[in-house]
Each structure stands twice: as structure tokens, then as C-alpha cells.
Amino acid sequence: MPEMNFHIRWPDGTPERCYSPSLVIKDYLTPGESYGLDDFLARSRTALSIASERVKARYGHPCSLALGQLARIEAAAKRFSNAPEPRVTVEAFDE
């Protein structure tokens, strides 16, 4: 399966490189776009869950790397839950 990394910038300016085992992330996030925190979380959950299910369909088990990435995104997002209108920027994709 084609895997890729995507680079984001959290509301406080902290960059992070994230992993997806599938190119499906391109259907949910766009480089150069800034998303409200809740929207970014929903898009990430959907895309990484689909990616994990694709791995499961092909190899018989969910993708622990995709699920781990989602857990890290959700944990990091909690830091900004009380910020006024927090936004996450998608900076780039690496294939």
C-alpha cells in the first residue's frame, strides 16, 4: 500500500510530521489549508480509520501505526481545546 507523511502546524505554531498508511488522507486534508480544530480532528479520524481498515482488508489486521498516529493527534489536540478558535494548518504531503 502506498504510505505517506503529512506535515501539520498546531495552533501554537508547533510543527508535526504525521503518518498515514494510505493516500486516502489526500481526500480529507489539503496542503495549505487551515482547519478548525474540531474539523481537523474529524477529518483525521475519518481518514486514518479508513486507512487502517484498508490495511485490515489487505493484511487481516488493522494498522497500528495509523491508529497510533490518530491517538497522538487526539492527545495533542487536547492542549488547544480551550483556545479561542484554534486552527491546524496542513503544510505538505510527502509520498
pTM of the shown model: 0.92
Give pLDDT tens digits for 41-65: 999 999 999 999 999 999 999 999 9
Cα–Cα dist 33/31, whole Å: 6
- Angle of CA points 6, 72, 57, to nearest 5°: 70
Sequence ranges of the domains in the chain: 4-94
| Cα 23 to chain centroid, rounded | 11
pLDDT interval class at 2 (50, 70, 90): confident
